[in-house]
Structure 1
Amino acid sequence: MSPEFYKIIHVIGILCLFAGIGGFLTYGNQQAPRVKMVAILHGVGLILILISGFGMVAKYGYGFPVWVILKVILWLGLGSLLGLAKSGKISPRNAVIVGLALGFVAAYAGLFGKFGWSIPSYSAPAAETQEG
């Protein structure tokens, strides 16, 4: 599949994820079929983001640099938001705010991370030899 296909699926997943988080803000902890639909939308978005994200990493041959690992951690954070809000650990309003912040960091990492983020090397520099 082409990288553009993966990008489209990735954006659709992001839309589903944030629609699910926003829908939970609207419906809260009600026991209605809409809350179930919101949770399904959130989960489908997470799956689409994960599959298309790893598809793009494989297609472009990035490997696992720091920004990819960071995006996986952010994906886990975004995935846990609905559960934290539903259990009452954070309010639905705060879940949206945290979700937007995590989404911003994920977007920044995806757009600019591939241009120079790497794990710093703390090894000693190679000794220069003097010939002469």
Structure 2
Amino acid sequence: MSYQFYKVLHMLGFMLLFFGFGGLMVAAFSKVTLTKSARLMAFITHGLGLFLIFLSGFGMAARLGLVQGLPAWVQAKIGIWLVLGIAISLVKRKGYIGWPIAILLWGLGTTAAFIAINKPF
């Protein structure tokens, strides 16, 4: 598959990941109890988004010939996405805090995008 295909898949993964976060955050912050199916939808979109991010990220790395030794910026992005994968439990348990958690998640996503665009190391 082409590099552009992986890039679009990567962006779809971002949208799904943050869609899942948003569903849980809004419900927790507004103190609304989600139905089982709504909560399941949030977790599935988060997990599917994370899967697509990793799948397409490694696909792009392969297209760029980075498979032998991943550069530090790729390793940093993998670390950020792992933290965002674990962060769903923080959102589930402490989502009622609201803005601080939202800003943390946005900051992690922005940092991953900055690293991908600028490749600082």
TM-score w.r.t. the length of structure 1 is 0.79
- CA RMSD, aligned part only? 1.8
User: What 5-or-longer segments of structure 2 have no aligned partner?
Assistant: none
1:1-132 maps to which residues of 2 (within 5 A)?
1-28=1-28, 30-32=33-35, 33-62=37-66, 63-88=69-94, 91-113=97-119, 117=121
The secondary structure found in structure 2 opposite 1:88 is: helix
Q: Which has the higher contact order (CA 8 A, sep 6+)?
A: 2
Q: Deviations over 1:93-112 (max 9, x none)?
A: 43321110000100000001
Task: Please identify which structure carries the higher helix content.
Answer: 2
Q: 1: distance between equivalents of 2:84 and 2:47?
A: 10
Confirm or deny: 8 A CA contact 1:81 1:95 kept in the other structure: no
In the superposition, the TM-score normalised over structure 2's length comes to: 0.86
Number of matched pairs: 115
Higher alpha-carbon Rg: 1
Residues 19 and 89 of structure 1: is their aligned pair in 2 closer, same or farther, counting only changes over 3 Å? closer
Query: Identity across aligned pairs (percent)?
Result: 37
